[in-house]
Amino acid sequence: MKKIGVASFAMLLAAATAFSGCTKQNTAESPAKGSEDPKASQAPSASPVKEEGYSLPIVKDGSVTLRYGGWDNWYAPASLSQNLPVWQEIEKRTGVKIKWEVAPVAQYTTSMQAKLAAAKDLPDIIALPIELSKAIESGVIEPLDELINKYAPNIKKFMADNPTEFNKMKAPDGKLYSLAAVTTGGAMTDPFGFLIRKDWLDKLGLQEPKTLDDWYNALKAIKEKDPNGNGKADEIPFMPQYGYKGLGMFGNALGLHLFYSNGYYPDENGKVRFEWMTPEAKELVVWLNKLYKEGLIDPGFLQKTEETIIAGISRDQVGSTIHFLSRAGQFDTLAQQAGASNANWLLTIPPAQPGYKPHYEKYGPISGNWVISKESKNKEAAIKWLDYIYASEEGNRLVTFGIEGVSYKMVNGEPEYMDFVMKNPDGLDPANTLRSIGAYPPTPWIRAAKGPLSKSPAALLKNNPKSLEQAKRVESMMVDNEPFAVITAQEIEELAFVSADMQTYIDETIVNFITGKEPIDWEKFTAKLKQYGIEKILKVSQQQYDRFINKQ
């Protein structure tokens, strides 16, 4: 992938200085790298903002350093540890320095799990890589209710205005221990679904696939008819990630909800089912087994990651995958750099068999857990800093739009992305352009469906007709995932009697069915789940669903 050139960013930054108050800095692979002077003087930051719980700056400049443990930037060349422009601006406005203790997902998860288990040397703020209930039980994290009431007016207001999301963040004991990313806006404007090479379909004389038969025929043609034109049988028709769950998204065609909802979903009569036990799921598994045997699914699908999919697309080999609509532009660029000048990735209409309505599950409404460690000596500064970046309009604009005059400008009182983002001179897609300067981060972030923190998702589409059209095509087909209320302490106790081996059995058996390692015996599979205690889970899920519906 091409990296953003220093010169193009430097010219934009210089032109924007009078408007943005942005500070230049040294970074290894970011837009601001190279010979730029990290001490260059810039326009002053915005005037101090007074809130009920605090005013800016939060602390005397540089007097507090918070350690932040989390996943690193999704755009790998620009690590958060490089103190990217957006975060340097946030530091200037809040006075709080951040020591970024970040790493790629797998590395971070392993190292932070070990630290949490030892309960030593924990950062002040932690992106939690374990179940929230485990962190609460271990006593290593701080309840946030009192801190928010005293010091976080923006979080307090957002939660009052968005009770559904707030209630989903609560622990079974009714307390709030973590903040979660809110994605209700992004779920509609940046849907997650099937992406396919439309230019390959055109070359093969095929229409966009809409049924499972259509998908089979398209994948078979991609495998056998050399759409990349290199004379080699090196095309990978379908390369998903997330293991068999990625394949399970084809269950949408049969009315199932196997991806975000994990198969626990109410039917049309409001009865919660475990959909992996249904006849429809058997039909899906038989179909997936056929695809696997014929080499239409990447044989290493269990090990595929974001990085391996990107690598395959960069070699002009991947015909389809599952991802966010916003990644289509990046995929186009990667394939074009590999020589496929007409590369055109399309978010497809959700597949649906006759008699079923097409649907994609919305992601969210919340995602992830960010907590404050109990041993932190700077809890007040930590919650104020989180309040600013997470729920204040000013902080949300910085993490959403970046630096005024560089990545966005104000038009009729509203922020609007500039050409640096929408038509990046170095070929980056909009999301990665923003990440290269520190916006669109892996920190807690609100992309709401309504209110003042709702502008980010639609703004990226405003000047992107192709993505806007594709988002609009599936808008009416989006359905909620996991429509359940928060589990209670009593319900957790009820589930303690469910065999801990059940999920392992489900995972291994479905994979073995798909790959042909064992014959598909659905009666044996469903009977075994009943022995493990699936009915207890369904009983609790039904209670959660009924509570959720009653609150609506």
pLDDT at residue 152 is higher than 70: yes
CA 145 to chain centre: 26
Q: Residue 14 pLDDT > 60, yes or no?
A: no
What's the pLDDT score for residue 491? 87
Residue whose C-alpha is closest to residue 63's, from 86, 90, 97: 97
Strand 96-103 with 64-71, pairing: parallel
Average pLDDT over residues 302-307: 86
Decide: 217 and 211 in contact? Cβ < 8 Å. no
Beta bridge partner(s), residue 272? 266
Residue recorded with tokens 């994948």: 219
Q: Is 70 exceeded by the pLDDT of residue 48?
A: no
The pLDDT of residue 414 is above 80? yes
Secondary structure of 305-351 as H, E, C letters: CHHHHHHHHHCCCECEEEEEHHHHHHHHHHHHHCCCCCCCEEECCCC
pLDDT surpasses 60 at 36: no
- pLDDT tens track for 425-440: 988 888 889 999 999 9
Q: What pLDDT is attached to residue 6?
A: 28
Q: How confident is the model at residue 477 (pLDDT cuts 50, 70, 90)?
A: very high
Predicted confidence at residue 365, as pLDDT, reads 84
Burial (0-12, 13-18, 19+ Cβ within 10 Å), 473: middle
Q: Is the per-residue pLDDT at 307 higher than 50?
A: yes
C-alpha distance from residue 286 to each of 129, 147, 279, 520 (Å): 34, 53, 11, 8
How confident is the model at residue 319, as a pLDDT? 98
Residues 64, 96: contact at Cβ < 8 Å? yes
DSSP state string for 28-70: SSSTT-SS--TT---PPPPPP-B-SS-BSSSSSTTSEEEEEEE
Strands 320-324 and 192-197: antiparallel
Label residue 53 by pLDDT band (50, 70, 90): low
- Is the pLDDT confidence value at 187 over 90? no
Q: State the pLDDT at residue 510.
A: 97
Is the pLDDT assigned to residue 410 strictly greater than 50? yes
- Residue 296 sits at the vertex; the CA angle it makes with 292 and 302, to the nearest 5 degrees, is 55
When pLDDT is averaged across residues 294-302 and rounded to a whole number, the result is 95
Q: Of the ranges 154-163, 221-230, 455-464, which is most confident?
A: 221-230
By DSSP bridging, strand 125-127 and strand 64-71 are: parallel
The amino acid occupying position 83 is N
Peptide bond into 57 cis (omega under 30): yes
DSSP β-bridge partners for residue 196: 320, 346
Separation CA 94–CA 68 (nearest Å): 15
The larger pLDDT score, comparing residue 290 to residue 459, is at: 290
Classify residue 412 by burial, with Cβ atoms within 10 Å: 0-12, 13-18, 19+: exposed
- Band (91; pLDDT cuts 50, 70, 90): very high
* Residue given tokens 């697309």 in the structure block: 313
The number of beta carbons lying within 10 Å of the beta carbon of residue 378 is 18
Residue 32, pLDDT > 70, answer: no
pLDDT for residue 407 is more than 90: yes
Place of tokens 């703020």: 125
Please write the tens of the pLDDT for every residue from 332-376: 988 998 999 999 999 999 999 999 999 999 988 888 999 999 999
**Predicted confidence band at 145 (pLDDT cuts at 50, 70, 90)?**
very high
Residue 227: asked if its preceding bond is cis (omega within 30°), the reply is no
Q: How far apart are CA 247 and CA 322, in angstroms?
A: 9
Q: What are phi and psi of 369, to 5 degrees?
A: -135, 125
In the predicted structure, residue 26 carries a pLDDT above the cut 50: no
What sections of 315-454 are H helices per DSSP?
A: 328-337, 379-391, 393-401, 419-422, 430-436
pLDDT of residue 497: 85
Structure confidence at residue 41 (pLDDT): 28
* Count of C-beta atoms within a 10 Å radius of residue 164: 13
Indicate the pLDDT class of residue 144, thresholds 50, 70 and 90.
Answer: very high
Please report the pLDDT score of residue 30 as a whole number.
27
Ranges 193-207, 227-241, 317-331, 458-472: which has the least confidence:
458-472
Residue pair 487/539 in contact (Cβ under 8 Å)? The answer is no
* Average pLDDT over all residues of the chain: 87
Mean pLDDT, residues 243-262:
96
Find the mean pLDDT for residues 487-498.
Answer: 84
C-alpha 342: how far from its chain's center? Answer: 28
Write down the pLDDT at residue 509. 98
The rounded percent of the chain whose pLDDT value lies above 90 is: 68
- The predicted-structure confidence for 323-342, as pLDDT tens digits, reads as follows 999 889 889 988 998 999 99
pLDDT at 552: 59
Helix (H) or strand (E) holding 243: helix 243-248
User: What integer pLDDT is reported at residue 551 of this predicted model?
Assistant: 67
Mean of the pLDDT values across residues 540-546?
94
Comparing C-alpha atoms, which of 40, 57, 77, 61 is closest to residue 438? 77
